[in-house]
Amino acid sequence: MPQMSEQPPARRSRSLILCVLAVLIAMVSATTPAAAAEGRPYTNPVKSQKGADPWLEYYNGNYYLVTTSFTGVLTMRKSPTLAGLSTAASVQIWSDTTSTRNTNIWAPEIHFLNGHWYLYYSAAQSGVACCDSQRTHVLESAGTDPMGPYTYKNQLSGSNLTPGGWLIDATVLQNNNNLYLIGSGFINGSPQSLVIAPMSNPYTLAGSTFTIISSPTASWETSGAAVNEGPEPLYHDGRTFLTFSASYCQTADYKLGQLELTGTDPLNPASWTKKSTPVFQRNDAASVYGPGHNGFFTSPDGTENWIVYHANDTANGGCGNGRTTRAQKFTWNADGTPNFGTPVALGTTLPGPSGETATTPTAYTLVNRNSGKCLDVEGGNTLDGTNIFQWSCNGGANQKWRLEDLGNDTSRLVNVATGKVADTANCATTDGTDIAQWSWLNNNCQKFRLVYTATGDYVRIVNENSGKVADVANCGTLNGTDVRLWTWLNNNCQQWRLVPTT
């Protein structure tokens, strides 16, 4: 029987090296996580109506976006992808009739603390000229749904804030298990500055006085007016940063500055170190002007840091509703400080946050809570006056609706199959008035408020002209049961679930 020949020493050595390399490669593959997939492509702006002072959270599979309203109403958008926010429904989550705080809502933001969402915002007194009556207020969610429902908890102000307690753009700083409220105000004749006070809980200050931690002194902080506002904490590798907006929002030079907590006591101004130059500012080559009042969020997989902010696309865009919400990824410098880069031009398509897996929705089905059936244009007929009723959900385009924000806290309901909108017959306001489709006429009879009603994405569809809601006639459950206007009765027949679709 022939014997197997032994390998020469050189060949044995090469074989051993190859085996070792194979083992090392296998070990690296087993211990190094695969790079996260890029998110769904998105294009700025992510909100083109009422896009100022944005706050964005990713929570439990969805992004939640809330912005300044300039009214006594707050709306929120929800989407499983960043791209989907641009067409997501604007749902009213709060309105206020209390005259001391029911107008000019600015800079809302939500924070999850002690098992609830707390919504902080500034608002003004009805009938009083802007803006000395601006005060900070806080709402509390009933549970863990960022959309609420919310109840009013408190006004947050200080005895040494002038004029009369003026405080805007409040945020919450967390440090060593303590809470602090940081906002923008005036103390003893100061320019508009960043001020801080301790909190005893998320809706109560632990005292009545504030301390200034940053005032506008550099030339880049005083363009148009000397302003420090819009503070936002950013935590990374054990360090605490605080971005803020500097100069006047009416100018193209509105921009972001940065503080770092380099001491141990956030209430001590000496504990904060200001960067000598701005960290995010206008990009004329990309037609981005006045980028500011930002927030931060993390990608769904937790590996990326993102900034959300507002900006104008013209140099004279000013402080109004022309500002749009934009977002982009940022990185970190070798010294551990954030690098926000340069604001990108509108219309630039970018990869979304890593870890997104959902399809970007573009429309909704509206499912009645009582019957489980869908809002439907009869037969997909394109004629004006075609009836809108309920029908078993079948995925047809005549059961899909684009809920298009009109920029005044209302939306129009556009049927995907027909391109026509939900309309109240003859602009009547009586109970029982029919809801049918019609060509867009831009009147209040065709405008609706989507008002958050209950956890599970249920809303009532409130007609702007009549104040009445979309109701399934007599709470019927059969296919073809009519949908009409009716006085709000708070029953399941008047509640509709928003189900994202494509």
216 preceded by cis ω (within 30°)?
no
The pLDDT confidence band at residue 28, using thresholds 50, 70 and 90, is very low
Residues 152-176: tens digit of each pLDDT: 999 999 999 999 999 999 999 999 9
Confidence at residue 281, expressed as pLDDT on a 0 to 100 scale = 98
For 108-116, what is the mean pLDDT? 98
Domain region containing 260: 39-352
Confidence at residue 32, expressed as pLDDT on a 0 to 100 scale = 37
Q: Is the pLDDT of residue 11 over 60?
A: no
Confidence at residue 24, expressed as pLDDT on a 0 to 100 scale = 40
Q: Which residues pair with 376 in a beta bridge?
A: 389
Residue 268 is classified by DSSP as S
Both 429 and 477 in one domain: the answer is: yes
For 136-148, what is the mean pLDDT? 97
Domain count, the chain: 2
Confidence at residue 205, expressed as pLDDT on a 0 to 100 scale = 98
Confidence at residue 36, expressed as pLDDT on a 0 to 100 scale = 66
Structure-block tokens of residue 265: 């006591």
Q: Is the pLDDT of residue 2 over 50?
A: no
Confidence at residue 25, expressed as pLDDT on a 0 to 100 scale = 42
CA distances (Å), origin 39, targets 296, 368, 396, 502 = 17, 32, 28, 17
Q: Is the pLDDT of residue 9 over 50?
A: no
Q: Is the pLDDT of residue 7 over 60?
A: no
Confidence at residue 130, expressed as pLDDT on a 0 to 100 scale = 85
Q: Could you tell me if residue 212 is inside a domain? A: yes
Q: Could you tell me if residue 14 is inside a domain? A: no
Q: Could you tell me if residue 31 is inside a domain? A: no
CATH number (domain holding residue 43): 2.115.10.20
Q: Could you tell me if residue 1 is inside a domain? A: no
Both 284 and 333 in one domain: the answer is: yes
Residue 313 known to be catalytic: no
Judged by phi (left if over 0) then psi (alpha if -120 to 50, else beta), residue 413 lies in: beta
Both 259 and 367 in one domain: the answer is: no
Both 328 and 380 in one domain: the answer is: no
Residues 395-450: tens digit of each pLDDT: 999 999 999 999 999 999 999 999 999 999 999 999 999 999 999 999 999 999 99
* Final residue of a structural domain among 352, 387, 421: 352
Distance of alpha carbon 107 from alpha carbon 68, whole angstroms: 5
Both 346 and 275 in one domain: the answer is: yes
Residues 473-496: tens digit of each pLDDT: 999 999 999 999 999 999 999 999
For 109-135, what is the mean pLDDT? 95
Q: Could you tell me if residue 7 is inside a domain? A: no
Both 332 and 444 in one domain: the answer is: no
Catalytic residue, chosen from 53, 109, 423, 434, is 53
Residues 73-99: tens digit of each pLDDT: 999 999 999 999 999 999 999 999 999
Q: Is the pLDDT of residue 17 over 80?
A: no
Both 335 and 481 in one domain: the answer is: no
Distance of alpha carbon 342 from alpha carbon 283, whole angstroms: 7
Q: Are 355 and 369 in contact (CB under 8 A)?
A: no
Q: Could you tell me if residue 25 is inside a domain? A: no
Residues 43-58: tens digit of each pLDDT: 999 999 999 999 999 9
Both 400 and 342 in one domain: the answer is: no
Distance of alpha carbon 21 from alpha carbon 48, whole angstroms: 54
Q: Are 444 and 436 in contact (CB under 8 A)?
A: no
Both 346 and 413 in one domain: the answer is: no
The pLDDT confidence band at residue 454, using thresholds 50, 70 and 90, is confident
The pLDDT confidence band at residue 129, using thresholds 50, 70 and 90, is confident
Q: Is the pLDDT of residue 184 over 90?
A: yes
For 32-52, what is the mean pLDDT? 84
Both 250 and 384 in one domain: the answer is: no
Q: Is the pLDDT of residue 104 over 50?
A: yes
Confidence at residue 16, expressed as pLDDT on a 0 to 100 scale = 43
Both 176 and 265 in one domain: the answer is: yes
Residues 6+ apart with CB under 8 A from 181: 136, 156, 170, 171, 172, 173, 196, 197, 198, 199, 205
* Final residue of a structural domain among 319, 352, 385: 352
CATH number (domain holding residue 394): 2.80.10.50
Q: Could you tell me if residue 442 is inside a domain? A: yes
Higher pLDDT, 202 or 454: 202
The pLDDT confidence band at residue 26, using thresholds 50, 70 and 90, is very low
For 332-349, what is the mean pLDDT? 97
Q: Is the pLDDT of residue 22 over 90?
A: no
Q: Is the pLDDT of residue 193 over 90?
A: yes
Residues 253-302: tens digit of each pLDDT: 999 999 999 999 999 999 999 999 999 999 999 999 999 999 999 999 99
- The neighbour count for residue 200, using CB atoms within 10 Å, is 11
Mean pLDDT of the chain: 93
Both 367 and 334 in one domain: the answer is: no
* Final residue of a structural domain among 352, 386, 401: 352
Catalytic residue, chosen from 140, 221, 229, 471, is 229
Q: Which helix (H) or strand (E) holds 16?
A: helix 9-31
Q: Could you tell me if residue 203 is inside a domain? A: yes
Distance of alpha carbon 282 from alpha carbon 132, whole angstroms: 29
pTM over 0.75: yes
Residue 84 is classified by DSSP as G
